[in-house]
Amino acid sequence: MASENNEARSEEMRRKIALVTGITGQDGSYLTEFLLEKGYEVHGLIRRSSNFNTQRINHIYIDPHNADKALMKLHYADLSDASSLRRWIDVIKPDEVYNLAAQSHVAVSFEIPDYTADVVATGALRLLEAVRSHTVDSGRTVKYYQAGSSEMFGATPPPQAETTPFHPRSPYAASKSLRIGTPLTTARPTSPRRGENFVTRKITRALGRIKVGLQRKLFLGNLQASRDWGFAGDYVEAMWMMLQQDKADDYVVATEESHTVEEFLEVSFGYLGLNWKDHVEIDKRYFRPSEVDNLKGDASKAKEVLGWKPKVGFEKLVKMMVDEDLALAKREKVLVDAGYMDAQQQP
């Protein structure tokens, strides 16, 4: 009896294992920090490149030769490659799988629609199928999280809840819409780690450089597009919470506040004492072939069922991003002034 109790106790204490695709992205890095802090062992699937692509998780990475206790491990795979997915699930034996990987830029999806669909739509299917066949073969239980997107709502007017009909307006959004009834979020998280091609980060990055004199102009598209922007660090907690429920379900994750790109400019430039109108020019190349005018989420279900709520509001988020990008620009200025770098280069 004592030994059974011991076994039960050690089973409880066994570290949970998570598998994260898209671990090199914004959400992947915040989710990894969150899961490690909760005592998970985190495995990530990354694409292979001859370029360094783990910048966002490098501060977490420990070389396997340095510490057997390294709790984050990376493996090569690709969402377009079904066998790589099955291989790693069999080896890693995760308790939870978070599918965050994607070709995640809406504008780019108009240029490479086939690739986007193959990774975002069919890739999700491949991963689901790999999980399914693994669980059937092994008898194990695996919980699966699918990263949805508010872009799926597209042209449907706000506020948008779980039951709001989809009306995707890009190959990216259409691919995200091809989901198969697994827990997912629809969210628009941003942060200082956001990719620099996404408008919020594009703005704060340019603003920092403008402030220190490395740049004068910023070219944008549709300033009237309206979005519900939240902090990625808050949103990954919602992802995790979804997988801790008794029942699998779908949830909208949002701040329930909507702002235009122009408002983002007002707040961010204003915070540094600048007038955005002096620096912003409109360039038609940044207009979408079909636009999503207005996204504003209704997150009441997440609030009631998960007990989730956002901690970082719009203004605080903008300031967080501006602060970090100003620091980054100052560092660039030091290198430029010392002759190590050209003004237009980004390190």
Residue-wise DSSP of 242-284: HHHSSS---EE---S--EEHHHHHHHHHHHTT--GGGTEEE-G
What is the total residue count of the chain? 347
In the complex with a copy of itself, the residue whose CB is nearer, 103 or 185, is 103
81 binds a copy of itself (CB under 8 A): yes
Residue 71 binds a copy of itself, judged by CB under 8 A: no
77 in contact with a copy of itself (CB under 8 A): yes
Query: Is 262 among the residues known to form the active site?
Result: no
62 binds a copy of itself (CB under 8 A): yes
Considering only residues 266-295, where is the footprint of a copy of itself by CB under 8 A?
Answer: 283
Per-residue burial over 122-157, b if 16 or more Cβ lie within 10 Å, else e, is: ebbebbbebbeebeeeeeeebbbbbbbbbbbbbebe
In the region spanning residues 213 to 272, those forming contacts with a copy of itself, defined by CB under 8 A, are 217, 219
337 binds a copy of itself (CB under 8 A): no
Contact flag: residue 49 with a copy of itself (CB under 8 A): yes
- How far is residue 255's CA from residue 124's CA, in Å, rounded to a whole number? 26
- Give yes or no for residue 115 binding a copy of itself (CB under 8 A): yes
- Of residues 129-188, which lie at the interface with a copy of itself (CB under 8 A)? none
Question: Which one, 197 or 224, has the nearer CB to a copy of itself?
Answer: 197
User: Between residues 6 and 53, which has the closer beta carbon with respect to a copy of itself?
Assistant: 53
Question: Among residues 40, 144, 172, 235, which one is catalytic?
Answer: 172
- Tell me which stretch binds a copy of itself (CB under 8 A): 12-20, 139-147, 192-200, 259-267: 192-200
Q: Cα 173 from chain centroid? A: 15
Q: How far apart are CA 88 and CA 239, in angstroms?
A: 22
Burial class from Cβ neighbours inside 10 Å (0-12, 13-18, 19+) for residue 278 reads exposed
Least gap, CB of 322 to a copy of itself (angstroms):
20
Among candidate residues 151, 170, 226, 237, the one labeled active-site is: 151
CA distance 297 to 252: 7
- CB hemisphere CA count around 289 (13 angstroms): 12
Residue (of 34, 35, 74, 78) closest to 55 by Cα position: 74
* Contact range with a copy of itself by CB under 8 A, out of 47-55, 176-184, 259-267, 301-309: 47-55
Asked if 25 interacts with a copy of itself (CB under 8 A), we say yes
| 29 contacts 56 by C-beta, under 8 angstroms | yes
Q: Which of the stretches 9-17, 98-106, 146-154, 249-257 binds a copy of itself when contact is defined by CB under 8 A?
A: 98-106
Give CA–CA dist 178/180, Å, rounded: 7
Find the binder of a copy of itself among 32, 99, 103, 149 (CB under 8 A): 103
Say if residues 195 and 180 touch (Cβ distance below 8 Å).
Answer: no
Question: Can 151 be counted among the known catalytic residues?
Answer: yes
In the complex, the smallest distance separating the C-beta of residue 265 from a copy of itself, rounded to whole angstroms, is 18
Reply yes or no on whether 129 is catalytic. no
Beta-bridge partner residues of 179: none
Compute how many residues bind a copy of itself; rule: CB under 8 A: 50
Alpha carbon distance 137, 153 (integer Å): 37
Q: Does residue 114 interact with a copy of itself by CB under 8 A?
A: yes
With the CA atoms of 18, 21, 23 and 24 taken in that order, what torsion angle do they form, in degrees rounded to the nearest 10?
160
Is residue 75 a contact point for a copy of itself (CB under 8 A)? yes
Q: What is the set of active-site residues?
A: 149, 151, 172
Q: Which residues of the shown chain bind a copy of itself in the complex (CB under 8 A)? A: 24-26, 47-56, 58-59, 62-63, 65-66, 75-78, 80-84, 87, 103-105, 108, 111-115, 118, 195-197, 217, 219, 283, 342, 344-347
